[in-house]
Structure 1
């Protein structure tokens, strides 16, 4: 994989594509006053203690997309022009900020690179606030902070909606790696643009210049202009600042492995209580819960909320409280032979923590079909977001699974697909699914439930899945269906095979034992080995067999596999972390 930096004008047919894209997405046009609030003179005066005043002359580039890291720039006098910009040199005007208005979006809470260009229009005097001080501001100034954070979130939503800014993905439609990168960026709420070389002149020029081989797809143009050939998720994360360089000498109070609902809850509560927190997530914040089209039994949301929206709010909360979130950062080993504890990442980086919270969840379970990997991303999917839904318009699809996640996905897909064939091996849904979802499925005319049924074969070619063989085990019959999209919601296996070096105790299914379960297991082992007395000290409810290592959420043995339960455990573990840290010897 080669990385090069291009000159933007090489691939822009005109000098600029100024104003080709509307500045504000249609669905949030009515919220312009919230996206671009104007602060009063009194409010601006209150902000002075968080920043320093600087002067910029006409035409000076204050912020450069993909390069400048900052917190917030508040205009005191003059005006600042804001333009979306991508690494190909395309620019589109968004707005001008005048006195009392400010630059920033959610990336700036963590000091990530800017997604826009900001240029002084005339001489400008501005209050420049660092990312660290921006976080202090939104906490210290509660009412004002609420308005600022709302604006930051809506600005990101707007960038996503208009489909401009961020990286540019170039490749043939339907290419599995293109789909995987698009899914990765969408799962992390990151704006991006897709270009087809057959349809777009810029994309053709880029391909003519780089001459990509089949193994080079897709090409990714980062906001700073660098071009990557078939990059990994980690490569893309680095070029966007989502995966920062981690200081291996720093000792964190808490390292959270997994940023699903449980891990995000720990991050928010620990960060809000002054602990230094590093959250490591291997794919996208929100975990499997983020794939839920609608969660209707979560307390406080009577009309329901999508898993992505719930996770996105929690992610912003974590950034607000100073949590360092690294995505994608896959934990490969947990090392407990010395203290502090160490987590080694897949890229070899080793980070240190006084405590480690395991909220690493589970891996999607695959059926035992010989060629299933061949079609992953090209007909086989393990979640159902709008990206996947848009692929199956007017098509019949198959969805396998009988749990709540499967039910939510079936209802969601029924609004896009021609028909959803829901396949379960049991005699129905009553034993595995909430009643309200069963009723909704029954009331949806284009969902057909197939009981006592499973997939026994997949057929297709290099372009993707073409046919699926279903077997009805009760009738002993098989039927071949011309279906190109299959969604698998058949559960998951605990993500614990990387914990062997540390000796974290797990049950026969691989889930992590905590609290009294650890004590019972150790007493039993001691008794069977003739060790007396067999008693063991009682552990904290969420503490594993290794002191200072805790487990929460779906990966914990005996946990309730629900979003609300995971969030509760994520909050509960923080008090146990405080107790552990308080009892450490002074030398530690």
Structure 2
């Protein structure tokens, strides 16, 4: 082959990579010799023979590899045994994605092409590098995030969901994986031969769909989120002998803010959440009044940045785990959070950031259609079900306004049902103006939804409503109803631990707790237990306020932990 042909082939290869991976140079940067030299004190050399695996899909990855010599082939392998080449990495390039910050299973395979020499940085050393070498750490962090984004777009490395895209089980699991930033892909048995073969082999009952094939080939039948999380390695076992400085319950804006500020100041932090990071803010289609984002940002994107930031500083984030109770007896000098599986997370201080659960109004047959036409958030998954359809949305707050604007770009019409007589007292002005300017959002004031109709065990077909000024019942022919009618505090797990709550169940803070020093504004009736964000009585119920309280509570945590460490006189 001529030199010109080789050059042309290499140029075509580079062009193909650039088109396959947006922002290719940032996603797969090549480190310089001085940069690699700076990294050496954080790692150790490892050698691999031709064909040997550096990491494998579904198995916990050892950390970040820097290729010193040779090449490594990166490929996708799903639970159906299908292997797809992704990219070849050579000298000066590094192998990892965001999961390697916290000892999570690899999402792709990496095999040596010829003899390979690498520099391996385990997760703890990788996090130390990012803090100590800020400019280099910034480049690596950006690449790790972009690689995860590309994996999500391609569905590489995650579980395979097999079933109709409109089924309640598929939508539920897609929502769970998407909100946790976990790659996956969906195969419909009506159009994909491999999916049809799996369906024929396992003969699932209708209620057992979707089938989920995890990377090791295990097939799950319509699993619960916690079952799927265990199967793909999202949840790690709790270290029984570890005592954290702080355990945070909830990974919404307040919880993640606490984790970021506390870990960046040297505290060891565990964060527990029952479903996904981001809380209600993570489900917001667009936030436009948060400081520093003049063009707006989706709630999920904002919370994903905070989630990655907390991992960068070393927070142990446990999702999904349900906290069942808080033991405040401190028999051994620490608090205990008992999880649903019986494990106990032990910590010297507790931050309650469990937020609030979406309120379920008194609507006839509501429970029957949850997940089959009734939704409590509006993500791209739900929006795709509403294309060119009329939808009904209930609520008059900012979350409702953001959802209405977002859905108006997909639905033919959004019927917005508001219990009150206006929006001025409950919604930001910029959202009101945007709604009023939209040609396909209709505002219906002084009204309420009273019932739902449709065939039994089928999708929603009709929404019944009436004006609060008239007894006459009216109907919308709609297959999707979105509810944004407030939330109730998630505080049931606090029963019996001595933490005081108000009549509505929100946690009371800033009251005297019998300690020798005045109580912090964020400390509860139990010394060493603090509350931040929406779960706290009197909080402003805004993303900015929650993030501010998460930062503010760290100073109070330092004060409490320092006092508790002093010997009594």
Shorter-chain TM-score: which interval? over 0.9
User: Mean alpha-carbon deviation: is it higher for 346-355 or for 470-479?
Assistant: 470-479
Name the SS for the 2:377 alignment partner.
Answer: coil
CA RMSD, Structure 1 to Structure 2 (Å): 1.8
Which of these residues, 414, 428, 438, is aligned with residue 434 of structure 1? 428
The one of 493, 498, 520 aligned to 2:488: 493
Q: 1:252 aligns with which of 234, 244, 267?
A: 244
- Aligned counterpart, 2:418: 424
Aligned pair partner of 2:521 in 525, 541, 564: 541
Task: Using the TM superposition, give the Cα deviation of residue 536 of structure 1 relative to its aligned residue in structure 2, in angstroms.
Answer: 9.0
Determine if contact 1:24/1:162 at 8 Å carries over to the other structure. Answer: no
Aligned to 2:562: 582
Structure 1 residue 303, shift from structure 2 partner: 1.0
Q: What is residue 185 of structure 2 aligned with on the other side?
A: 193
How far is the alpha carbon of 1:227 from its aligned partner? Answer: 1.9
1:522-533 correspondence runs (5 A): none
User: Could you report, residue by residue, the CA deviation over 1:92-151 in whole angstroms, capped at 9, with x for unpaired residues?
Assistant: 221111100011111011110110011111111111111111111111110000000000
Partner residue in 1 for 2:352: 358
Cα drift, residue 217 of structure 1? 2.0
Alpha-carbon contact 1:333-1:499 (below 8 Å) kept: yes
Contact 2:103 2:123 (8 Å CA) reproduced:
yes
Contact 2:27 2:142 in 1 (8 A): yes
SS of aligned partner of 2:561:
helix
Match of 1:293?
285
* Superposition deviation, residue 25 in structure 1: 9.4
Contact 1:467 / 1:481 at 8 angstroms: preserved in 2? yes
Q: CA deviation at 1:63?
A: 1.2
Distance in 2, Cα, partners of 1:97 & 1:479: 62
Match of 1:310? 302
Per the alignment, residue 550 of structure 2 pairs with: 570
Is residue 402 of structure 1 aligned with residue 373 of structure 2? no
Q: Does 1:561 align with 2:553?
A: no
Distance 2:121 2:517 in 1: 50
Q: 1:25 to 1:382 in 2, by over 3 A?
A: farther
Q: Are the equivalent residues in 2 in contact too, given 1:355–1:548 (CA < 8 A)?
A: yes
When normalised by structure 2's length, the TM-score is 0.94
CA distance in 2, matches of 1:337, 1:241: 32
Find the residue that maps to 2:70 and give its secondary structure.
strand
Between the aligned partners of 2:565 and 2:66, the Cα distance in structure 1 is 46
Q: CA offsets per residue over residues 529-564 of structure 1, 9 Å max, x none?
A: xxxxxx996311100001110000000000011101
Deviation at 1:503, TM superposition (A): 1.6
Aligned counterparts of 2:370 and 2:562: Cα–Cα separation in 1: 48
Question: Does 1:389 pair with 2:383?
Answer: yes
Equivalent of 2:163 in 164, 171, 177: 171
Whole-Å separation in 1 of the counterparts to 2:222 and 2:285: 30
Q: Give the SS at the match of 1:583.
A: helix
Structure-1 separation of matches of 2:17 and 2:324? 42
Pair 77,585 (structure 1): closer, same or farther in 2 beyond 3 Å: closer
Does the CA-based 8 Å contact 1:413-1:420 persist in structure 2? Answer: yes
Post-superposition Cα deviations, 1:41-78, rounded to whole Å, max 9, x if no partner, equal 11111111111111111111211100142210110011
Tell which deviates more after alignment, 463-472 or 197-206: 197-206
Give unpaired runs (5+ residues) of structure 1.
1-21, 524-534
Q: What is the CA-CA distance between 1:162 and the residue it aligns to?
A: 2.1
What is the SS of the residue equivalent to 2:454? strand
**1:333-352 pair list within 5 angstroms:** 333-338=325-330, 339-352=333-346
In structure 1, the partner of 2:27 is 35
Q: Which residue of 2 aligns with 1:18?
A: none
- Do the aligned residues in 2 keep the contact of 1:171 with 1:219 (CA within 8 Å)? yes
Contact kept, 8 Å, 2:67 with 2:119, in 1: the verdict is: yes
Q: How far does residue 260 in structure 1 lie from its aligned partner after superposition?
A: 0.2
Contact 1:249–1:351 (CA under 8 A) maintained in structure 2? no
CA distance in 1, matches of 2:298, 2:451: 33
Cα distance change on mapping 1:217 and 1:25 into 2, 3 Å: farther
Q: Does 1:482 align with 2:489?
A: no
2:173 maps to which residue? 181
Runs of 4+ residues deviating >4 angstroms: 22-26, 585-588
Residues 1:268 and 2:260 aligned together: yes
1:132-175 Cα distance to aligned partner (Å, 9 max, x none): 11111111110000000000000111111123321111123322
CA contact (8 A) 1:25 1:158 kept: no
CA contact (8 A) 2:166 2:385 kept: no
Distance 2:293 2:170 in 1: 35
Inter-partner Cα distance in structure 2 for 1:214 and 1:485 = 22
- SS of the residue aligned with 2:136? helix
Shift of residue 230, structure 1, vs aligned partner: 2.1
Shift in Å, 1:30: 4.1
Q: Which of 106, 116, 138 is the matching residue for 2:130?
A: 138
Partner of 1:304, secondary structure, is: coil
Q: Secondary structure at the match of 1:432?
A: coil
- CA shift digits 1:445-480 (9 cap, x unpaired): 000000011111100122211101110122433211
TM-score with structure 1 setting the length: 0.91
SS at match of 1:368: coil
- Deviation string for 1:344-397 (max 9, x for gaps)? 112222111100100000010011123211111110000000000001001000
What is the CA–CA distance in structure 2 between the aligned matches of 1:216 and 1:321, rounded to whole Å?
A: 40
Output the CA distance in 1 between the equivalents of 2:104 and 2:21: 26
Tell me how far 1:248 sits from its aligned partner: 2.7
Rounded to whole Å, the distance in 2 between the matches of 1:164 and 1:43 is 30
Whole-angstrom CA distance in 2 between matches of 1:134 and 1:228: 34
Instruction: Report 1:229-248 matches (<5 A).
Output: 229-248=221-240
Taking structure 1 as reference, are residues 300 and 182 closer, same or farther at Cα in structure 2, changes over 3 Å only?
same
Kept in 2: contact 1:67–1:224 (CA 8 A): no
| Structure 2: gaps spanning 5 or more residues | 1-14
Change (3 A) 1:162 1:580: same
